[in-house]
Amino acid sequence: MGQLDGKTALITGASSGIGRATAIRLAREGAGLAVCSRNTERLDRVRSEVENIGGKCVAQACDVGRMEDCTALVNGILDMAGGIDILVNNAGVGYSGAVVDSDPAEAEEMVRVNLLGVYHMTRAALPVMIAGGAGDIVNIGSVAGLKYSPNFGVYSATKFAVRAFSEALRNEVQGHGIRVGVVHPGMTQTAFFQSFSKGGSPVPADMGELLPAEEVAEAILCMVTRPPGAAVNEMTVRPAWQER
């Protein structure tokens, strides 16, 4: 038996990286999955991977920056599974560059996806979870949300905001049996750093010892499998060599 048998998990940004690793890890523990992303081709591959290990998975295109997309997705899950036990807000984008020559369109996209996307999906799913009387919400932050760095001002701002939003939400919903946690990944083996175009990736080109995405998935699993009376509200997972 798996630790999550009978539970339904919704994972955003699940087409690659941390989202994909989390989908596979939670499926191995028995959770039924609903996964979403803007990249439907890669999302379908994740669905196939989950099904190949015996899991159940529904994949649907969703732009978390659009409230209507989030509402439609949650309504579909409700019709299919009757509830949502776990929500992992993982979708995110990142661009680097000094503020003085940054692209306002990129800045707006980071705010829309990284912050409003967390709000939108949480707002859509929360009434369902409150009605169920229990649940776990895990938001993916970043070490950039703990300590700012030059050339990552807007990205860091969105992740600082996710941390603040999560703590406020935790206090709002704890009376409903819902736990809220934030996982702050360090430098992780994903394609995410490729989007840090202007200021350059903080990862040296020859640095191969990045954190496997599966280690972040394990942290998420730890949060959502605690006994009902225990809550892990914040966890930072870095490569051992990473200074900040």
pLDDT category of residue 197 using cuts at 50, 70 and 90 = very low
pLDDT category of residue 205 using cuts at 50, 70 and 90 = very low
> If you count them, how many residues does the chain have?
244
Stretch 81-106: mean pLDDT, rounded?
95
In contact, 179 and 139? CB cutoff 8 Å: no
Residue 64, amino acid: V
Residue 71 pLDDT > 60: yes
Distance CA 79, CA 25 (A): 24
Of the candidates 92, 173, 91, 93, the residue with the CA atom closest to the CA atom of residue 131: 173
- Between the alpha carbon of residue 219 and those of residues 96, 183, 212, 232, the distances in Å are 27, 7, 12, 10
Residues contacting residue 21 through CB under 8 Å, at least 6 positions apart = 212, 213, 214, 216, 217
Phi, psi of 179 (to 5 degrees): -100, 145
The dihedral of CA 13, 192, 195, 118: what is its sign?
positive
pLDDT category of residue 163 using cuts at 50, 70 and 90 = very high
| Active-site residue, from 95, 119, 148, 155 | 155
pTM over 0.75: yes
**Domains of the chain and CATH, by start:** 8-237 (3.40.50.720)
Crossing angle of helices 17-28 and 213-224, in 10° steps, is 50
11 by DSSP, 3-state: which?
Answer: strand
Known active-site residue 155 = yes
Cα torsion 131, 47, 106, 124 to 10°: value is -10
| pLDDT at res. 206 | 47
